[in-house]
Copies of this chain bind each other. A is one copy, B any other.
């Protein structure tokens, strides 16, 4: 990573752009991928939005998110077809022009056989003024970064390759560490003691996640902290609380 500032919290938002996600026709796979990816490199994903392929909501979301978080990532809407309006919407959000970019055009010219760089394909070389390109190892047509906004493709394999290209340029915070403890109990049976542990360890984030397993309710308690020692102490307290609850149940 470019910078490793141990005490700074680096935050991010993810903007998924596409009618197909909102209609249910395509099931998003990028949110889960990006959440895992950012967590692994020490960036806190704080918000996700999904908006349609319509300029006004894209502009509104880009402008709301880029002011609120260290980084914004977007997926979708940078292909060659008429409904791919992400690039021009991002340009509008920044109030800059957009045109065919000579660097992007050169990449596409090298990729397609002579005469095959149609007007539609050339749309993929339209990049907002002042943006840097993001490499696309899968299908060549690049994404781009303008200020803190990273614009990527929606096809998961391409989006993932673009994240690998972006990651070394990102500053990352101190990694959030996590420990999970499974409890063979419904969460209501440990809720009071977990709340007490959360109060006792304010530098941790303790989450309680109910599960159903063939109609039986179990719970996963996840303890998160940027400090390994605090994490271990809190996790031990959670384990003790669960053993106590199981003991009480057995009586």
Which A residues lie at the B interface, using CB under 8 A? 16, 19-28, 31-32, 34-39, 44-53, 57, 79-84, 118-121, 123-124, 138-139, 155, 157, 176, 178, 180, 187-192, 194-195, 198, 205-212, 217, 222, 224
Contacts and interface: CB of A to CB of B under 8 A. Distances in A.
Nearest to A40: B24
A188 B118 contact: yes
Contacts of A83: 198, 206-208
A31 B50 contact: yes
A123 B224 CA distance: 24
A90 to B, nearest CB: 18
A194 B83 CA distance: 10
B80 A188 contact: yes
A22 B51 contact: no
Given A82-B208, A118-B188, 9 more contacts: A22-B48, A24-B39, A31-B31, A47-B52, A80-B187, A80-B191, A82-B198, A121-B188, A121-B191
A195 B45 contact: no
Nearest to A192: B120
Contact of A207 (B19, B189, B208): B19
B26 A45 contact: no
Contacts of A39: 23-24
B24 A208 contact: no
Contacts of A35: 21-24
Contacts of A53: 207
A166 to B, nearest CB: 17
A211 B156 CA distance: 9
